[in-house]
């Protein structure tokens, strides 16, 4: 694999382990909801119990701008588009990342 893993890249961008875990959980849970493998209520209950200090709700129809707002509102200072591109390139939540990136013509 060329370059750092997504986790290494996030650490290099000075994110805390809690922020990294939150991002990983949020993307994984969002991907699950988008694929209809689990409902929003159940996922949000789990997300809120595991990450009670973060403010976020997972929705099937989330937009890229909403995802960016979630990062900003939780004081997570990272380029959301670069984050999604790196996740997609490493094959993590690939379809969900492509879904968000397509909203700004960042993936065709």
**Domain count of the fold of the chain:** 1
78-99: average pLDDT: 93
**Tens digit of each residue's pLDDT (9 = 90 or more) over 20-69:** 999 999 999 999 998 887 889 999 999 999 999 999 999 988 999 999 99
Tell me whether residue 92 is in a domain: yes
Tell me whether residue 108 is in a domain: no
- Are 63 and 102 in contact by the 8 Å Cβ rule? The answer is no
| 70 CB-contact burial (10 Å; exposed 0-12 / middle 13-18 / buried 19+) | buried
pTM to 2 decimal places: 0.90
**Tens digit of each residue's pLDDT (9 = 90 or more) over 4-22:** 899 999 999 999 999 999 9
Backbone dihedral angles phi then psi of residue 50, each to the nearest 5 degrees: -80, -30
Task: State the pLDDT at residue 13.
Answer: 94
Domain range for 26 is 6-48+59-102
């Amino acid at each position: 694999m060329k370059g750092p893993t997504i986790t290494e890249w996030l650490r290099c961008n000075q994110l805390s382990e809690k922020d990294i875990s939150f991002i990983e959980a949020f993307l994984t849970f969002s991907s699950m909801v988008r694929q209809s493998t689990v409902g929003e209520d159940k996922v949000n209950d789990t997300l809120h119990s595991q990450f009670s200090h973060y403010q976020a709700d997972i929705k099937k129809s989330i937009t890229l701008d909403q995802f960016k707002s979630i990062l900003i509102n939780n004081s997570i200072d990272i380029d959301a588009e670069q984050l999604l591109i790196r996740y997609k390139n490493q094959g993590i939540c690939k379809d969900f990342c492509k879904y968000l990136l397509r909203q700004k013509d960042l993936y065709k």
